[in-house]
Amino acid sequence: MAKIQMKTPLVEMDGDEMTRIIWKMIKDILLYPYVDLKTEYYDLGLEHRNETDDKVTFESAEATKKYGVAVKCATITPNADRMSEYNLKEMWKSPNGTIRAILDGTVFRTPILVKGITPFIPTWTKPITIARHAYGDVYKNTEMQVPAGAKCEIVCTDKNGNETRSLIHQFGGSAGIVQGLHNVDASIASFARSCFNFGLDTKQDVWFATKDTISKKYDHRFKDIFAEIYEKEYKEKFENAGITYFYTLIDDAVARVIRSEGGYIWACKNYDGDVMSDMVATAYGSLAMMTSVLVSPDGVYEYEAAHGTVQRHYYKHLKGEKTSTNSVATLFAWTGALKKRGELDALPELVHFAEKLEQATIQTIEEGVMTGDLALLSTLPNKKKVDTETFLQEINERLKALL
């Protein structure tokens, strides 16, 4: 079979530890034999980030803006331990944070469902995609402990020096706490557009919820911005695509999500997204089966796995032991990026290849061949735990038959 030729490169962001090992295996076993892979390669491994004073991260994000599609390996976010382990010049920031800020994007996380691994909520037969607004609110707060008798106000000084004051609380005999939050309309609008675009892209309804009945100005602003943008820019497109935008209160949304069958995008404010994404990921079974895509409001896509670098497995690997690390989410980051590249470049053969690769992966697991994390969860009778590389080879055997 002739290799599939690509037109435009993908931005390839390599990463760290066990996922870096998997990254190379995926390319060697499942991509190079079939695709004349064109990538613009950026090494986001911690050593190279350190050597380049983290410039490589910024360059990779700029390249993503230029080419429109990136695929990223998991990377270490340095902490004190990593400072000494890698002899770092500085405690470099999280690459994901840097890339997200440059692309002004929203992260969408979607579970990969397979037979034999039943969600904790048995009615969830389709994936629920969580979109988390990743700016502001309690994550950029200012807070204080205040003494008894204190009077606390919000003071806003406009650019002409005019002050507006609003009482938070006149503290009585007890000391207490106060907190100041903010968000900006532009960020909420970007979030809304990313969610509506992703809904159109994946032909799924978009749900959004806040507590606007209690937070009549703050949360209400979120509700209004979503509604205005939807009416003006998306209503017609949604109707043509046969999908809907649905707004409700956050507590009502939670109740409906539990009763639902899945199959929609749930847009969440920052804190709701933090909490609900962990709940949803756990309920579907495994973090190693969760994909993640960063979508910018102007339609730039960066695909990755939701999990980290699987450090514990990497140390085993370094000692020469065989690991059974799940490569599915990383593999689906590649297929997601290849499909998107194929769509944008009008290369149906590339889209077709990526779809068959996904199909081969799911078929492998559903036929009982899986990594250790899934073997613990799967209810299939004849399941077989295989090592990291064997799993990819098993996928390849099925892929050959499908192509």
DSSP state of 352: H
> Which of positions 260-289 make contact with Mg ion (CB under 5 A)?
274, 278
CB of 107 to ligand NAP, least distance (A): 9
| Residue 77 binding ligand NAP, by CB under 6 A | yes
Out of ligand NAP, Mg ion, none, what residue 57 binds, judged by CB under 5 to 8 A for its kind, is: none
Q: Considering beta carbons, is residue 325 or 364 the nearer one to ligand NAP?
A: 325
Report, in Å, the least distance between residue 285 CB and ligand NAP: 12
Structure-token pair, residue 83: 């400072």
> With binding defined as CB under 6 A, does residue 311 bind ligand NAP?
yes
* DSSP characters over 178-242: EEE----HHHHHHHHHHHHHHHHHHT-EEEEEE-TTTSTTHHHHHHHHHHHHIIIIIHHHHHHHT
**278: partner contacted, choices Mg ion, ligand NAP, none (Cβ within 5-8 A by kind):** Mg ion
Binding residue for ligand NAP, selected from 26, 61, 114, 310, defined by CB under 6 A? 310
CB of 307 to ligand NAP, least distance (A): 4
DSSP collapsed to 3 states, 6-68 = CCCCEEEEECCHHHHHHHHHHHHHHHCCCEECCEEEEECCHHHHHHCCCHHHHHHHHHHHHHC
Shortest reach from residue 292's CB to Mg ion, in Å: 13
Q: Does 369 bind ligand NAP (CB under 6 A)?
A: no
Q: Which of 341, 402, 370 is nearest to 34 (CA)?
A: 402
Among 326, 363, 364, 378, contact with ligand NAP (rule: CB under 6 A): 326
Least CB distance to ligand NAP at residue 147 (A): 39
Burial class (CB in 10 A: 0-12, 13-18, 19+), 60: buried
Half-sphere exposure of 327 (CA within 13 A, CB side): 32
Instruction: Using the minimum distance from each CB to ligand NAP, give the nearer residue, 44 or 265.
Output: 44
Helix axes 328-344, 348-366, angle to 10 degrees: 160
Residue of this chain nearest to ligand NAP (CB atom): 308
If one asks whether residue 50 binds ligand NAP (CB under 6 A), the answer comes out as no
Q: Is 169 helix (H, G, I), strand (E, B) or coil?
A: strand
Residue choice 288, 331, 375, 386 for contact with ligand NAP (CB under 6 A): 288
| Pairing of β 264-268 and β 205-210 | parallel
Binding mask 7-36 for ligand NAP (x = CB under 6 A): ------------------------------
Spell out the residues 6+ positions from residue 240 whose beta carbon is closer than 8 angstroms to its own.
none
Residues that bind ligand NAP (CB under 6 A): 74-77, 96, 287-288, 304, 307-312, 325-326, 373
Residues that bind Mg ion (CB under 5 A): 274, 278
